[in-house]
Amino acid sequence: MEHKYKGLYFGDFEIGDKIFSVGCTITENDIKSFAGFSGDYNKIQTDIEIAAKTIYQERIAHGLLGLSVISGLAARLGFSEETVIALRVIQWKLLKRR
CATH numbers and ranges of domains, the chain: 1-98 (3.10.129.10)
pLDDT of residue 82: 81
pLDDT of residue 11: 84
Cα distance between residue 23 and residue 46, in whole Å: 24
No. of helices (H) and no. of strands (E), the chain: 4, 0
**What is the full per-residue pLDDT of the chain (98 aa) written as tens digits?**
566 677 788 788 888 888 888 889 999 899 999 999 999 999 999 999 999 999 999 999 999 999 899 888 888 888 778 887 777 777 777 777 66
pLDDT for residue 1: 59
Query: How far apart, in whole angstroms, are the C-alpha atoms of residue 35 and residue 27?
Result: 13
Instruction: Give pLDDT, residue 22.
Output: 87
By the 8 A CB rule, do 22 and 73 touch? yes
Residue 46 in contact with residue 32, Cβ under 8 Å?
yes
For residue 3, what pLDDT is reported?
65
The pTM of the full predicted model, rounded to 2 decimals, is 0.73
User: How far apart are alpha carbons 21 and 73 in whole angstroms?
Assistant: 6
